[in-house]
A and B are shown apart, each in its own frame.
Chain A
Amino acid sequence: MGELRIQNLTKVFNDDTGQIVAVDDFSLNTEDGEFVVFVGPSGCGKSTTLRCIAGLETVTEGRIFLDNEDITTQPPTGRDIAMVFQNYALYPHMTAGENMAFGLKMSTNMPRAEIEQQVNETATMMGIEELLDKRPGELSGGQQQRVALGRAIVREPEVFLMDEPLSNLDAKLRTQMRTELQNLQHELDITTIYVTHDQTEAMTMGDRIVILDGGELQQVGTPLKCYHEPANQFVAGFIGSPSMNFFSMSYENSVLQHDAFRYELSQSVRQNLGTLTGDVVLGIRPEAIERADNGGERTVVAPVSVVEPMGDVTHVYFDVDDETYTMSQEGDLVTEVGSQMELRFPEEKIHLFDATTGDAIKTGSVSTRVETTQPTDGSDTGRP
């Protein structure tokens, strides 16, 4: 079991200039075996929350429960939790094997032979058995990463905490380790809290992602839910690369008015907005913008300022009213810099946010498709 429950967690740091609220009234329930990713910009409180769970920071207010046991005031040694650090924190004077054995030596009364056996088994599973006699200084970044993971895994904890464990790796190795970590977590089925500032990691790894900003929880949900139905403008802008485009609009008489274009809403959307009037923000993802060639409503004409061909996709930057926005189009479509584009914002893909609070008023509608696979061995599918 590894059900982690965080209730109204608040962490306040005191310094010479006053109080800094690092985490503000944060609550979260995780299920056993779940992979939860905390994501947010630097200073958003994600690492502090993780350190509070580990017991490395005292909690100012709130409670933390692990399998219904209150661990808020327990020292780190008393919590059945293992942590992987950003810089791995492998003890440089110990071999990889000694690093992995250290936790078992400190936290259990296991005989030496049993510790050694457990370390060897974990090392074999991780494919690092040949590294056990080497010191961290003799290992590459990727190997150190594996040993650090092995050190956490060998203790068989209830919860893994991972603080940006891939950020010190190069891009290629990071992608590889990302997949390995996912497989490993799936295989071990241990509750994992993973902290990252990389929204790609968050989107690809987490069963659920927790988005934080300024110490406050912004949204909890599956990656696709957060992508397609962001709770507010911050989440909409943070999740997705390139970021969502935002246009400052005013909403009056059923029409969204921008300095450069007007956008008329359909009857059904107007009904949903009710009596709303005033300033709103229209958001649309780069890939949701379509090319139009016959003018009409919900279109805007804009000059192309920069073109970034990525191969599979091309990012086209265009200017509207001195602001630069992005659209993504198919990679084989060639667009000239300086040319005029006529763009359409499909109504079902646009998001509307309250200009003052940033809260979502309307999100894009998405229909997800589930791919079903046929057995390839010619066995009976059960169909007549």
Chain B
Amino acid sequence: MAQPPETRREQITDALPSFGIADPDSNIAWYMLIFPKIALMAAVLILPFLGSVYISLHEWAPLATSHPFVGLENYARLLSDSVFHSALINTATYSLALILIDVPIALGLAILLDMNLRGTRIYSASIFLPVVTSWVVVSLIWTWLYNPDYGMINAFLNVFGIAGLDWLNSRDTSLAAIIIMSIWKHVGFNMVIFLAGLKGIPDSYYEAATVDGAGRWERFRYVTLPLLKPTSFFVIVVTLIFSFRLFTQVFVMTGGGPVNSSISIVYYFWQQGFQEFNMGYASAIAVVLFVIVFAFSIIQQRSWGGDVDY
């Protein structure tokens, strides 16, 4: 017969240590346990965000003595700001490119490395090395690689008789150049996560599928992909959030140009906040960015996340 909840609760409470700070009957010990995490979250995430929302409703220059309340004016301004629109489109393009190109490449590399072929360790280290290298350093190196006159990329293209491009100084190629470089740097991160996901799939599923008559493609289609769903969900969400933070590459390589062709939301936010000192407007941009990322996470969680708990 099931015990009444009260008895079970008493048993559980008695079995747990009281940490010497409170009566076992009180819940203070529980709050104390989660307090550091709540405090940290509040200090670095919740309070700054609420601050941003507050500032975004004001005209706010850093050294000004008064910050007049302007309501939703900053948000209304965003609707008609063509630079913000460019930043939004560029960031969305960058995100889409990463999800459509980076994620499949990372999965492909992880599958190759999971085959335990000769030299796997060297390959995995080589692919992961850019991940642990500074974005600034990588951006500088790729700026040289993209140089139209003495850059190695154009030199390589010339070998095949392809005319070199003015990668970072052309409106047509500046964002693409940043995307290529970012995929090169970031793909190792997703690859490692996919690799961990692949290693977590027991061999017995593949063996069962093999005995069931499934070939290599069928095993990938019916075993690997479905069982990698939780990993893929994580990779896509993390890549999406990461991609919306596009800043350093733009800052070092193009400065958002030419003619805002590579400007990103975060870069525009930085420009408005720390170059133009329009903190109110910059905060509005930050809040919109938060809402976009949060909305994507919720949509993905709703449409995909509920089915990954096996």
B214-239, CB under 8 A of A: which get 1 and which 0?
11001000110011010000000000
- Majority-rule SS of B interface residues: helix
Cβ of B207 < 8 Å from any Cβ of A? yes
Q: Which of B210, B211, B218, B227 contacts A93 (CB 8 A)?
A: B227
Cβ of A244 < 8 Å from any Cβ of B? no
Q: How far is the CB of B78 from chain A (nearest CB, A)?
A: 43
B197-216, CB under 8 A of A: which get 1 and which 0?
00000101101111111110
**Could you tell me the distance between the alpha carbons of A203 and B35 in the complex, rounded to whole angstroms?**
60
- Are A92's CB and B211's CB within 8 A? no
Cβ of B150 < 8 Å from any Cβ of A? no
Cβ of A135 < 8 Å from any Cβ of B? yes
Q: Which of A82, A90, A91 contacts B211 (CB 8 A)?
A: A82
What 5 pairs between A and B have smallest CB-CB spacing? A107-B213, A106-B213, A103-B212, A89-B208, A89-B204
Cβ of B31 < 8 Å from any Cβ of A? no
Take A102-B222, A135-B310, A137-B310 as given contacts and tell me if A89 and B205 are in contact as well, using a CB distance cutoff of 8 Å. yes
Identify which of residues 51-96 in chain A touch chain B, using a CB-to-CB cut-off of 8 Å. 54-56, 75-77, 81-83, 85-87, 89-93
**Could you tell me the distance between the alpha carbons of A237 and B278 in the complex, rounded to whole angstroms?**
87
- Are A76's CB and B210's CB within 8 A? yes
Q: How far is the CB of A182 from chain B (nearest CB, A)?
A: 23
Chain A residues near B209: list those with CB within 8 A: 91, 102, 106
Q: Which residue of B lies closest to A86 (CB)?
A: B204
Q: How far is the CB of B171 from chain A (nearest CB, A)?
A: 46
Take A92-B227, A93-B226, A137-B310 as given contacts and tell me if A87 and B204 are in contact as well, using a CB distance cutoff of 8 Å. yes
Take A85-B207, A87-B202 as given contacts and tell me if A106 and B214 are in contact as well, using a CB distance cutoff of 8 Å. yes
Q: Which residue of B lies closest to A138 (CB)?
A: B310
Chain A residues near B204: list those with CB within 8 A: 85-87, 89
**Could you tell me the distance between the alpha carbons of A87 and B201 in the complex, rounded to whole angstroms?**
13
* 25 A–B contacts from the bound complex (CB under 8 Å): A54-B211, A56-B210, A75-B210, A76-B213, A77-B215, A81-B211, A82-B211, A83-B207, A83-B211, A85-B207, A87-B202, A87-B204, A90-B208, A93-B226, A93-B229, A102-B212, A102-B222, A103-B211, A103-B212, A103-B213, A106-B212, A106-B213, A108-B213, A135-B310, A151-B212
- Are B207's CB and A92's CB within 8 A? no
- Are A89's CB and B215's CB within 8 A? no
Q: Which residue of B lies closest to A135 (CB)?
A: B310
- Are B223's CB and A89's CB within 8 A? no
Find the residue from A56, A75, A107, A137 having the highest chain B CB count within 10 A: A56
Q: Which residue of B lies closest to A75 (CB)?
A: B210
Q: Which of A86, A92, A155 contacts B310 (CB 8 A)?
A: A92
- Are B310's CB and A106's CB within 8 A? no
Number of A-B contacts (CB under 8 A): 63
- Give B contacts to A, CB under 8 Å: 202, 204-205, 207-215, 218, 222-223, 226-227, 229, 310
Interface size class on chain A is 20 to 34
Take A91-B222, A103-B213, A107-B213 as given contacts and tell me if A83 and B310 are in contact as well, using a CB distance cutoff of 8 Å. no
Chain A residues near B215: list those with CB within 8 A: 77
Identify which of residues 247-300 in chain A touch chain B, using a CB-to-CB cut-off of 8 Å. none
Q: Which of B207, B218, B227 contacts A106 (CB 8 A)?
A: B218
Q: Which of B202, B211, B214, B226 contacts A56 (CB 8 A)?
A: B211
**Could you tell me the distance between the alpha carbons of A135 and B307 in the complex, rounded to whole angstroms?**
12
- Are A107's CB and B212's CB within 8 A? yes
**Could you tell me the distance between the alpha carbons of A89 and B203 in the complex, rounded to whole angstroms?**
9
- Are B208's CB and A77's CB within 8 A? no
Chain A residues near B210: list those with CB within 8 A: 55-56, 75-77
Take A89-B205, A91-B205, A135-B310 as given contacts and tell me if A76 and B211 are in contact as well, using a CB distance cutoff of 8 Å. yes
Chain B residues near A56: list those with CB within 8 A: 207, 210-211
Q: How far is the CB of B203 from chain A (nearest CB, A)?
A: 9
Chain A residues near B207: list those with CB within 8 A: 54, 56, 83, 85, 89
Q: Which of A55, A81, A85, A137 contacts B208 (CB 8 A)?
A: A85
Find the residue from B208, B222, B223, B226 having the highest chain A CB count within 10 A: B208
Q: How far is the CB of B301 from chain A (nearest CB, A)?
A: 18
**Further pairs besides A76-B211, A81-B211: 10, Cβ < 8 Å:** A54-B207, A55-B211, A56-B211, A77-B210, A87-B204, A91-B205, A92-B310, A106-B213, A106-B218, A137-B310
Chain A residues near B229: list those with CB within 8 A: 93
Find the residue from B202, B209, B210, B212 having the highest chain A CB count within 10 A: B212
**Could you tell me the distance between the alpha carbons of A108 and B213 in the complex, rounded to whole angstroms?**
9
Chain A residues near B222: list those with CB within 8 A: 91, 102
Chain B residues near A92: list those with CB within 8 A: 227, 310
**Could you tell me the distance between the alpha carbons of A292 and B303 in the complex, rounded to whole angstroms?**
79
Find the residue from A81, A106, A137 having the highest chain B CB count within 10 A: A106
Q: Which of B208, B223, B227 contacts A83 (CB 8 A)?
A: B208
**Could you tell me the distance between the alpha carbons of A93 and B204 in the complex, rounded to whole angstroms?**
15
Q: Which residue of B lies closest to A78 (CB)?
A: B213
**Could you tell me the distance between the alpha carbons of A85 and B212 in the complex, rounded to whole angstroms?**
12
Chain A residues near B227: list those with CB within 8 A: 92-93
Q: Which residue of A lies closest to B212 (CB)?
A: A103
**Could you tell me the distance between the alpha carbons of A36 and B39 in the complex, rounded to whole angstroms?**
65
Chain B residues near A102: list those with CB within 8 A: 209, 212, 214, 222
Chain B residues near A86: list those with CB within 8 A: 204
Q: How far is the CB of B309 from chain A (nearest CB, A)?
A: 9
Chain B residues near A54: list those with CB within 8 A: 207, 211
Q: Which residue of B lies closest to A85 (CB)?
A: B204
Identify which of residues 22-61 in chain A touch chain B, using a CB-to-CB cut-off of 8 Å. 54-56
Chain A residues near B202: list those with CB within 8 A: 87, 89
Q: How far is the CB of A344 from chain B (nearest CB, A)?
A: 51
Q: How far is the CB of B75 from chain A (nearest CB, A)?
A: 43
- Are A91's CB and B223's CB within 8 A? yes
